Amino acid sequence: MRDFLTRLPKAELHLHIEGSLEPELMFVLAERNGVALPYGSVEEARAAYDFQDLQSFLDLYYRGMSVLRTAEDFHDLAMDYFRRAHAEGVVHVEMHFDPQAHRVRGIELPVVMEGLSLARRHAERELGLSSALIMAFLRDREAAEAMAVLEEAAPYWEMLDAVGLDSAERGHPPSKFTEVFMRAAQLGIPRVAHAGEEGPPAYIREALDRLDVCRIDHGVRCLEDPALVARLRDEGMVLTVCPLSNVRLKVVERIEDHPLPQLLEAGLRVTLNSDDPAYFGGGVLDNYLACQRAFGWDEATFIQLAGTAIEAAFIGDARRTELRHRLAASY
């Protein structure tokens, strides 16, 4: 099964590139940039990755990214992840990035864009790996700041495959960002949002009704609202689910308790993703393997999941056709 799951051409639709920063690279970049880390060693860093909830993770996530200072750092971060993903049979990566988390540290958007763009070109050329870019807004900061970032990104609008909404969910409903997302819509930029990870099903409804999103990131709490489940199914809405993340952030207690089987049973379009692989114990393949072990799914289920990711990806017709063929040839 491991060989089969590795071979399967997997598209990853939910990854925070800053959450792919492994402790090894964190130490290299800290040294390069003269940044002090709160950990004495790689092992100490990993041992600290023991989270109670989303906020306790976010605290370490924002601290960890303080080592990212130059375009070269962002390039190295993304290439490091792309190489690992490629080795696991990932063929396409859609990465969220958090411009506001860098801006507050004095790292401006052009630095981030230059580094990530260069890495994307390298990955395409060296690994045949395609990618997409999702500029995420931090929902626990003011909407006006998100709007300013969107306007500031004018030179890069063409390069954005979508805008997203992430960070601390509770108390920060999607409706707070209605204006920002309507501006993105006016600009022709697609929209996605984290909703129903820690927040209630009502936030999923708001993301649909107010932000006009084409995908919901996480969305696992939709099961608490049967009418919402019916709506998601009828609209063919895609959920980018991250099972290992949900375990590590205690959205569920154990992987065996994860609602993925119910989501599939309900006829929802589901994909498997890593979220923040450096912090949550593995990449896309590890998420596939964890589900195989927990739920005993057969090959057909994984082919369906991988197929949904290809159908829901921000890619052009030619690449989608190519990935469909690669999927069909892989089993």
Q: Which residues are catalytic?
A: 197
- Partner whose binding site includes residue 19, from Zn ion, ligand ADE, none (CB under 5 to 8 Å by kind): ligand ADE
Build a one-symbol-per-residue string for 113-152: x at contacts with ligand ADE by CB under 6 A, - elsewhere.
----------------------------------------
Query: Which of 49, 193, 275, 309 is close enough to bind Zn ion by CB under 5 A?
Result: 275
- Written as six digits, the tokens of 251 are 């959205």
d(CA 214, CA 243): 21
Of 259-288, binders to ligand ADE (CB under 6 A) are: 275-276
d(CA 249, CA 305): 23
Residues 286, 25, 132, 105: what is their CA dihedral angle, to the nearest 10 degrees?
A: 130
E strands along 144-262, which residues? 162-166, 192-195, 215-218, 238-241
Residue 194 binds ligand ADE, judged by CB under 6 A: yes
Residue among 120 and 194 whose Cβ is closer to Zn ion = 194
Residue 197 binds ligand ADE, judged by CB under 6 A: yes
CA atoms within a 13 Å half-sphere pointing along the CA-CB vector of 225 = 17
d(CA 274, CA 174): 23
- Partner whose binding site includes residue 22, from Zn ion, ligand ADE, none (CB under 5 to 8 Å by kind): none
Residue 245 binds ligand ADE, judged by CB under 6 A: yes
- Written as six digits, the tokens of 19 are 């959450």
Query: Which of 166, 237, 277, 315 is close enough to bind ligand ADE by CB under 6 A?
Result: 166
Of 55-74, binders to ligand ADE (CB under 6 A) are: 61
Segment contacting Zn ion by CB under 5 A, of 107-115, 116-124, 248-256, 271-279? 271-279
Residue among 37 and 263 whose Cβ is closer to Zn ion = 263
Residue type, 254: R
- Partner whose binding site includes residue 285, from ligand ADE, Zn ion, none (CB under 5 to 8 Å by kind): none
Q: Give the residue among 271, 239, 238, 243 at the shortest CA–CA distance from 257.
A: 243
Segment contacting Zn ion by CB under 5 A, of 206-214, 225-233, 274-282, 304-312? 274-282
What residues contact 296, with CB distance under 8 A and at least 6 apart?
none
Closest distance of CB 197 from ligand ADE, Å: 5
Tell me the residue number closest to ligand ADE, measured at CB.
Answer: 166
- Partner whose binding site includes residue 167, from ligand ADE, Zn ion, none (CB under 5 to 8 Å by kind): ligand ADE
Residue among 76 and 198 whose Cβ is closer to ligand ADE = 198
Q: What is the arrangement of strands in the sheet containing 269-272, beginning at the earlier edge strand?
A: 192-195, 215-218, 238-241, 269-272
Closest distance of CB 307 from ligand ADE, Å: 24
d(CA 164, CA 133): 10
Of 35-54, binders to ligand ADE (CB under 6 A) are: 54
What residues contact 248, with CB distance under 8 A and at least 6 apart?
49, 51, 57, 279, 280, 281
Across the strands, what pairs with 216? 193, 239
- Written as six digits, the tokens of 220 are 């696992």
Residue 80 binds ligand ADE, judged by CB under 6 A: no
E strands along 106-218, which residues? 130-138, 162-166, 192-195, 215-218
- Site for Zn ion, rule CB under 5 A: 275
- Site for ligand ADE, rule CB under 6 A: 16, 19, 54, 61, 166-167, 194, 197, 245, 275-276
